[in-house]
Amino acid sequence: MFDEIQTPAVLVDIDVAKRNIERFQAYADSHGLKVRPHIKTHKLPAIAEMQLDAGAVGITCQKVSEAEAMVAGSDRLNDVLITYNILGDDKLHALVALARKVRLAVVADNETVIDGLSAAFAQAGATLNVFVECNTGADRCGTGTPQEAAALAARIHAAPGLRFAGLMTYPPVGGAAKVQAFMAEAKALVEARGIAVPVITSGGSPDMMLAHLVPATTEFRPGTYVYNDRSLVARGVTTWDDCALTVLATVVSVPAPDRAIIDAGSKTLTSDLLGLTGHGHVLGRPDIAIDQLSEEHGRLRSEGDIGLEVGQRLRIVPNHACVVTNMVDGVYVYGKDKAPELWPVPARGKIV
């Protein structure tokens, strides 16, 4: 099926992706959760439409340019949340233009971002939905306490050109109790100021099937779940059969009985480890470790005879599917009844 594809190449089994989408949507529906998938994993309007078909209420993006590309690729992608602090005149100008095309929301965790959003949208005579991002234990962005979250919610509520949309978090793995405590208290504090909290949105594929343990949450934003990867298999969230994205590589050298070299290096598999040892899983060969990457080479090791030949092709499940997608201009999409077809990846690469 893949003989004519030049390597290294990224393959996507669309049947597996569809199954992954439907699996989580069914779980979310059973628990009364809305789904707003993060498209950073696939960056493909066609797959986002599959997510909408399954029941998603909209999409999540991480950059203005990412959102622009997705919206341009489908007239159905008209409800977008950008989960990033947006600063700078150029980005704010683009954000105003985007808000004229779709239902748009963003996040903020500080007054500087809020004030910049307010100035841009008030001047444009438009209104932007803004969530307060909360740090519930992942220690990335987000307000550190429910009291700070409530204060920012009030600032958004009072700011010209803005509308308070709710509370947002990217939670720590295994941190359901912390997330629930933080969000419940923050919600109560905001409501005590006379401000409604329409949505509480959380995310993260590692704990997606435990989202019901945070009853304060009304919406969930899984990303990696559409493809899955080695990191999620290692966590016991999924299996190799559920991994829709693989990297096709060719053995270009077998310089020793226990060592081989493939044509997929850090420019394809990326250097992400996510706490794992090695740089991916060779399907059908659990005895092989990808122990080293240079830009264009991947080194494979085996404790015994590696049993590979020059010219042989291998499929690898990467540690982290999301970053692999961003490394290529196109992916080869295939299925049980679908020959491989090269799909451009429109929402990758831009800086803005």
What percentage of the chain carries pLDDT values higher than 90?
A: 99
First to last CA, the chain: 37
- pLDDT over 70 for what percent of the chain? 99
User: pTM of the entire structure?
Assistant: 0.97
Q: What does the block give as tokens for 343?
A: 């799909």
Task: Give the model's pLDDT for residue 52.
Answer: 98
Reported confidence tier of residue 246, pLDDT bands at 50, 70, 90: very high
Average pLDDT over residues 97-113: 98
The yes-or-no verdict on residue 13 having pLDDT over 90 is yes
Give exposure, 20-38, as e/b (b: 16+ Cβ within 10 Å).
bbebbbebbeeeebbbbbb
pLDDT, residue 292, reads: 98
* pLDDT of residue 352 exceeding 90: no
Name the H helices within the chain.
14-30, 45-54, 64-73, 89-99, 111-124, 146-158, 176-192, 230-234, 321-325
pLDDT at residue 351 in the model: 63
Distance, in Å, from the CA atom of 12 to the CA atom of 92, rounded to the nearest integer, reads 34
pLDDT value for 38? 98
Residue 165 pLDDT more than 80? yes
**Residue 128, C-beta contacts closer than 8 angstroms, at least 6 positions apart:** 95, 99, 104, 105, 106, 117, 121, 161, 162, 163
What pLDDT was estimated at residue 349? 76
Q: What is the pLDDT of residue 64?
A: 97
From CA 21, how far away is CA 56, in angstroms rounded?
A: 9
At 118-162, the pLDDT tens digits run: 999 999 999 999 999 999 999 999 999 999 999 999 999 999 999
Residue type, 119: A
pLDDT value of residue 344: 97
Whether the pLDDT of residue 60 is over 90: the answer is yes
Give the pLDDT of residue 125.
Answer: 98
